[in-house]
Amino acid sequence: MKMKKKLASVLTVIMLACSLPWQAQAAAPIVSNKPHKAPVATPPAVSEAQPVKAVPEPVAVKADTAAKPAAVKADIAAKPAAVKADIAAKPAAEVKAPKQAKPEKKAKKAAKKKSKKTKEKQSKVQVQQSNWRLKVAQQKLQVLGFSDERPSGRMTEATSTALKSFQKQHKLKADGELNDATYHKLTWEAFAKEGIPKVKGKEIVSRAAKYKGVPYVFGGTTTKGFDCSGYVQYVFKDCKAKLPRLADEQALQGIFVTQKQLRPGDLVFFTTYAAGASHVGIYAGDGQFWSASSSKGVMLSSLKDDYWKQRYYGARRVLITNGEVYK
């Protein structure tokens, strides 16, 4: 009985399902085995027939735009004239004047140039003194009979040979060079032979003062007019002492002395119009000396005066009575 009831129910369901076949198909979606794609939204079509309305431009903007080209043209036209006027307004000195060095640069350049000249002058003086020392040695070798070569201030083979002979005789290192020991011994040995004996320094100074005021005459050797070396030679001659005529020859006589070692009657030398010993005077004591000045004639001057201080060359002792310096 139960089975009959179940079959009746199933049949009833099947019949109901068959009664609406088309409605179910219309409502049911189509199922595909392919993966589902989302639909692409299509933008709404814009009709070409529809005109785009122009937005009206403000009146002020139109006026400004219209005015700009004219203003730009006017500005461009005005610039060349302004540039020309500016160039014309500049002073000629500003345009054409050459560049000048700054005062500081000029001063530095001048100082550098002066320093260079001073160094060159000092170097030249050192060379001159070195040459003078050799020249003195050559003169002493002549006095002592070791050489007959004329003093030149240049080392020669004859001078070197003469020095070796002198060094051997006095038991010095015989190397033919003019070292301090050789120079001192050489000058003293010659001084003992050629130095002026008996005459005293005070006598020379007294006689030198006698000719105060005698005018300067270049090449003069008399009381009518003296030059510097002519005056010194004349004073010594008055005292029965002999000296060469020229200043650079007188500078080879006797022995060298420093300013501290100076005694009245010693000779002092200066570099004035020519290199080397070009002016000579007679030391009077207390830092003063007699000489024939080109500006004032025979006069007493001071070694401390800037003019003479800057030109001082050296001093020589020719009077044996003033004593020896080197033994």
pLDDT in tens, 228-286: 999 999 999 999 999 999 999 999 999 999 999 999 999 999 999 988 899 999 999 99
Instruction: Among 7-21, 76-90, 162-176, name the most confident range.
Output: 162-176
Q: How many residues does the chain have?
A: 327
pTM of structure:
0.59
For position 120, what pLDDT does the model report? Answer: 58
pLDDT band per the 50, 70, 90 thresholds, residue 119:
low
**Contact yes or no for 177/163 (Cβ under 8 A):** yes
Domains and CATH numbers, the chain: 120-194 (1.10.101), 201-322 (3.90.1720.10)
**pLDDT for position 4:** 62
Residues 36 and 66: their CA atoms lie apart, in Å, by 62
Q: 22 falls in which pLDDT band (50, 70, 90)?
A: very low
55 exposed, middle or buried (CB, 10 Å; 0-12, 13-18, 19+)?
Answer: exposed
Q: Examine the pLDDT at 57 and tell me if it is beyond 50.
A: no
Looking at the DSSP assignment, which residues form a beta bridge with residue 288? 285, 302
Query: Averaging pLDDT over each range in 23-27, 150-154, 285-289, which range is the top one?
Result: 285-289
How far, CA to CA in Å, does 50 sit from each of 31, 45, 47, 53, 54? 43, 11, 6, 9, 13
Residue 112 pLDDT class (50, 70, 90 cuts): confident
| Residue 107 pLDDT greater than 50, yes or no | yes
Query: What is the per-residue pLDDT for 37?
Result: 46
pLDDT at 82 over 70: no
- φ/ψ region of 265 (left if φ > 0, alpha if ψ in -120 to 50, else beta) reads left
